[in-house]
Amino acid sequence: MHRLLAAALLPLLFGACARSSLPDVASHPSPADARIADRAPTNAGVIAGYTHREPVSPRPWKQLNQEQAPNGGAGS
């Protein structure tokens, strides 16, 4: 029990001995910074790049593999 308590209190003790706080290392700039350029919002279409595809009947998988293989499936 004492070891568990010591393990819990040691980080608090060492944290209190720290010289100063850590620097602000946020990945995003502050929204209050006036030097940051304002980008105009863009409107990306919801279905941009959509291609309509019809269902097809199943085909033999070996034939499909040969058609999609580089060099027409001529060896590896």
Q: What is the SS3 string spanning 55-68?
A: CCCCCCHHHHHHHH
Instruction: Name the band, by pLDDT with cuts 50, 70 and 90, for residue 76.
Output: low
Q: What is the mean pLDDT of residues 20-25?
A: 68
Residue 70 has pLDDT above 60, yes or no: yes
Most confident of 6-10, 52-56, 65-69, 70-74: 52-56
Compute CA 30 distance to the chain's CA centroid, rounded to the nearest angstrom.
22
Helix, strand, coil shares of the chain as percentages rounded to 5?
35, 0, 65
Supply the pTM of this predicted model.
0.25
- d(CA 19, CA 29) in angstroms, rounded, equals 26
pLDDT for the residue numbered 51 = 92
The type of residue at 13 is L
Residues 23-62: tens digit of each pLDDT: 666 677 777 877 877 777 788 788 888 899 999 899 899 9
Tell me the three state secondary structure of residue 49: coil
Number of neighbours of residue 73 by Cβ within 10 angstroms = 13
Residue 4 has pLDDT above 90, yes or no: no
